[in-house]
Amino acid sequence: MGKREHMSSKNADALPVVDLAPFLVAAGGDGGVSRATEAVRAACWEYGFFRVVNHGVPPELTARVLELSAVFFALPDEEKAKLGFNLYPDEPTGFREALDECFGKLTQLGVLIQEILNESMGLPPGFLKEYNGDRSFDFMASLRYSPATAEENNGISEHEDSNCITFVLQDGAGGLEVLKDGVWVPADPVEGSIIVNLGDVIQVLTNGKMKSATHRVVRKPAVHRHSLAFFFNVHGDRWVEPLPEYTEKIGEAPRYRRFLYSEYQQLRMRNKTHPPARPEDVVNITHYAI
């Protein structure tokens, strides 16, 4: 893939920004909707990552969730173990309610982004909604990363997401980066914005035209990083394959073979619990490449 360098901080706002106000405000008009849809299409073809603003998720809610998440993780380990973080915890006070409200808002945002993708992908109206209408597979994770050490600064190594769409909220520590043309571009926190990245499902459906972007988290010294990741998922029994709009209808051969989504998830989970000896054997979407 070539040399991978870190882009300088002056380019911290290099990611495309999409204003979703035309979809949420009646006065947006068709012109605003068309411009925003085209902006999403361009961002998905070039980056697979973009920021959304005026997205309908109250900034005070996301700030509260991140603050309460930091309080939770600061609790003694024995207290966290009692609370059982696989479920919404009862402490600190208000955390469960804030997470639940945030989950609902991000679900609504996921449905909207999916509708915009449907249009920007040139699909029949409602295609993705019918294809991916079961929201019971969506999930959200509240995360904390320890400060970097002299020996190690990786929070999450470079990877691509397997799902459809991911939303990322992060506190002031930042650290999220996306790979663009061999260069790591900072996706630093910007007040009022939410990071959106595409996953492997969209890349396969578009036969590689839209990108499932490679990204990572780099930890900073002397500070914990808190973030929230929401995964807008697809049902496990769905078959995933390049759509006719991106293959036979335009005279291009499929670049991926058809696969069951649950099978792909199982392959990825297997390599998390039993890492292969050779890096080239790590399962990602290239496993299904033709």
Write the pLDDT tens digit of every residue in 247-263: 999 999 999 999 999 99
Q: For residues 238 and 230, what is the distance between their CA atoms, to the nearest angstrom?
A: 20
Between 237 and 8, where is the model more confident? 237
β-strand pairing of 49-53 with 17-19: parallel
Selection from 12-26, 149-163, 175-189 with the highest mean pLDDT: 175-189
- Alpha-helical regions (H) of the chain: 21-24, 29-46, 59-74, 77-83, 95-120, 127-131, 200-205, 261-273
Structure confidence by residue, pLDDT tens digits, 145-177? 988 887 776 767 888 999 999 999 999 998 999
Concatenated DSSP letters of 228-278: EEEEE---TT-EE---GGGTGGGT---SB--EEHHHHHHHHHHHHHS--SS
| Band (276; pLDDT cuts 50, 70, 90) | confident
Q: How far apart are CA 243 and CA 22, in angstroms?
A: 28
pLDDT for position 29 = 62
pLDDT at position 158 is 86
pLDDT at 153: 67
197-217 pLDDT, tens per residue?
999 999 999 999 999 999 999
Give all domains of the chain, ordered by start, each with its CATH number: 5-235 (2.60.120.330)
What's residue 64's pLDDT? 96
Q: What is the pLDDT of residue 12?
A: 45
Identity of the residue numbered 13: D
pTM: 0.90
Tens digits of per-residue pLDDT, 98-133? 999 999 999 999 999 999 999 999 999 999 999 999
pLDDT digits (tens, 9 = 90+) for 62-103: 999 999 999 999 988 888 777 666 567 778 999 999 999 999
